[in-house]
Amino acid sequence: MRFRFYFLFIFFTVLFLFYPGDSLYYHTFAYNRHLFNQKEKRLSFKINQIPYVKTADEPQVSAEAVYIVDLNSFTPVYKKNSQTQFLPASTVKIITALVAYDVYDLDRVITVKNVVSEGQLMGLAEGEKITVENLLYGMLVHSGNDAAFALADNYGRDKFVDIMNKKAQKLGMEKSNFTNPAGFDDFSQLTTGYDLTLAARELLKNKLLKKIVSTKEITVSDSEYKNFHKLSNVNKLLGEIQGVGGLKTGFTENAGENLISFYKHNGHDLVLTILKSQDRFADTRELINWIDNNIGYTQVDGLSLIN
């Protein structure tokens, strides 16, 4: 009895497979057997080069926070307290510049009122008429606090600062909060190394702002050619180290020395962010030396899918 059952099961199974009806086998193999005879096709995907650290040695710096990232792949190559909040000082001006670029036309002429006289200044005069573009140079090259406040106050300081925070959130700067456009100390105005790197990446996408932060010296005037402002970049490494193209300094007694640098290395763009350093330029030199000796790149490809 059991033998007859197995025989019938095998018989009807074979019959089903070779029956030219609407069976699954019939449609997937009998009518489409040419698909199975084709040679395998492979789709290869080439991925950007990604950095890797050659040694386990860490750079020796005084900065309390460091974040170094390869912009091509946004792969971090070194980080130290990158999510810890610190006072930003004038690195805030990156966000100020991004917002000013969004809300103004570059050739818009602003009349300077209530001139700020604290800290680093480009030297604006009360009642001076000057373009937004020249104020951006004064703020990003010379780190002029008067330029930052002129841009914010003409729009409405509170509204401008509100847009700064919205811009930061849009960029993913989740641990940042801004209360003024120049970076004056306020213990509710905080950011992180990681967040500032996001802001720097956004600035570098903008051709004009990227050009401005890489400018070593420039003289700009008001729209009536009465006042001329000679501006020198606060970043001493610009022009000293090949490959450094800006980006933004920051310093107050409470914040310490901050510096965000744009650096080209072996065809790759890197951003180096350091916060609360005792010597931001020495630390950045050390980090660049460490990059030059320890960072390599590998091509990731050969990832294939069978089609």
Catalytic residue among 46, 62, 82, 90: 90
Tell me the C-alpha distance between 77 and 57, whole Å.
Answer: 12
Question: Looking at the structure, do residues 51 and 31 belong to the same domain, yes or no?
Answer: no
Domain extent for 127: 45-306
pLDDT, residue 36, reads 38
Instruction: Give tens-digit pLDDT for 70-112.
Output: 998 899 999 999 999 999 999 999 999 999 999 999 999 999 9
Average pLDDT over residues 21-32: 35
pLDDT in tens, 105-137: 999 999 999 899 999 999 999 999 999 999 999
Active site includes 90?
yes
Q: Specify the pLDDT at position 32.
A: 39
Q: How many domains does the chain have?
A: 2
Question: Which strands form 268-277's sheet, in the order they lie side by side?
Answer: 75-80, 65-70, 268-277, 256-265, 244-252
SS3 254: coil
Let me know whether 8 and 56 are in one domain: no
Same domain? For 220 and 125 the reply is yes
* Cα dihedral sign, 137-143-145-151: positive
* Greatest alpha-carbon span in the chain: 113
Q: Which amino acid is at 298?
A: T
Segment 170-193 mean pLDDT = 97
Same domain as 73, residue 96: yes
Among 93, 167, 248, 276, the active-site one is: 93
Q: In angstroms, rounded to a whole number, what is the distance separating the alpha carbons of residues 169 and 273?
A: 19
Question: Rounded mean pLDDT of 177-184?
Answer: 98
Residues 186 and 281 in one domain: yes
Is residue 262 over pLDDT 70?
yes
Quote the pTM value. Answer: 0.82
Please report, rounded to a whole number, the percentage of residues in the chain having pLDDT higher than 90: 75
Q: Are residues 26 and 110 in the same domain?
A: no
When computed from its CA atoms, the radius of gyration of the chain, rounded to whole angstroms, is: 30
- One of 143, 176, 214, 261 is an active-site residue; which one? 143
User: Does 208 lie in the same domain as 71?
Assistant: yes
Instruction: Say whether both 102 and 150 belong to one domain.
Output: yes
Distances (CA, A) of 170 to 95, 190, 288: 12, 17, 30
Same domain (yes/no): 220, 72: yes
Q: To the nearest whole number, what is the mean pLDDT of the chain? A: 86
- 19 and 75 assigned to the same domain: no
What distance lies between CA 76 and its chain's CA centroid? 11
* Separation CA 255–CA 198 (nearest Å): 20
What are 280-291's pLDDT values in tens digits? 999 999 999 999
Please count the residues of the chain.
307
Residues 171 and 211 in one domain: yes
- What CATH number is given to the structural domain containing 222? 3.40.710.10
| Residue 14: its H or E element | helix 2-18
Whether 114 and 244 share a structural domain:
yes
